[in-house]
Amino acid sequence: MNEQKPRAALFDMDRTLVRKETASLYVRYLRDIGEATTFDLLKTLYWVGQYTLGLLDAENMAEKALGPLAGTPESVLSARCEDWFGKYVEVHIAEAGRRAVQRHKEAGDVCAIVTGATKYAARPLARRLAIEHVVGTELELDTRGHFTGRAERPLCLGAGKVRRAEALAAKLGFVLEESTFYSDSVTDVPLLERVAEPIAVNPDPRLERVARQRGWRIERW
């Protein structure tokens, strides 16, 4: 008899499990500890707005955003993200998201955060929600464990998010076509199209149109 494969529930982070967009929250944190300026914050808000509207090259944005990390030890970013999450992000965790994760865990599903953010940003959320697996944009490290200022390809966005989700599925033995994926962004349509149960959570206007056209479930968290 063939062993039954596990089912999986995949969750985006920004505006999904967390009701806010976290990149600007992180730059606010850096500004408040003296590591960024108000101009940096305004620039980040502009980039996020352009990305949301589909007007920004994500690869180019990542290059500009990650450049200042060059030479920073991995341990420094990990510690900063832990501090930032507790002070700036935790209050914005969606209660409906907590409940959805709990339902899937009780059903025996594999749960994973699959986000365009880095694992350093997503791991504190995963721990709060007892989610074992995190898939995100990976940052290059040099031989000393310092960041190079570049991201590994593919970024965990669009088709790249599908590829990284496929790698997790192969590792854990689940099938994307039998999985559930929760996301707010039209940029995640490639992965939403792959799963059995695509769910648009707090969808941006373009994703809401797609979801209504295709009969996908829409939820407000």
Q: Count Cβ atoms below 10 Å from residue 170 Cβ, excluding itself.
A: 11
Known catalytic residue at 83: no
Phi-psi region of 71 (alpha: psi -120 to 50; beta: other; left: phi over 0): left
Catalytic position from the list 12, 109, 188, 204: 12
Known catalytic residue at 204: no
130: Cα separation from own chain's centroid = 16
Catalytic position from the list 14, 109, 184, 188: 14
Written as one string, the DSSP assignment of 125-142 is HHHHTT--EEEEEPEEE-
Query: Residue written as tokens 């999904």?
Result: 16
For residue 197, the cross-strand partners are 180
Query: Residue written as tokens 């707005």?
Result: 49
Active centre residues (catalytic): 12, 14
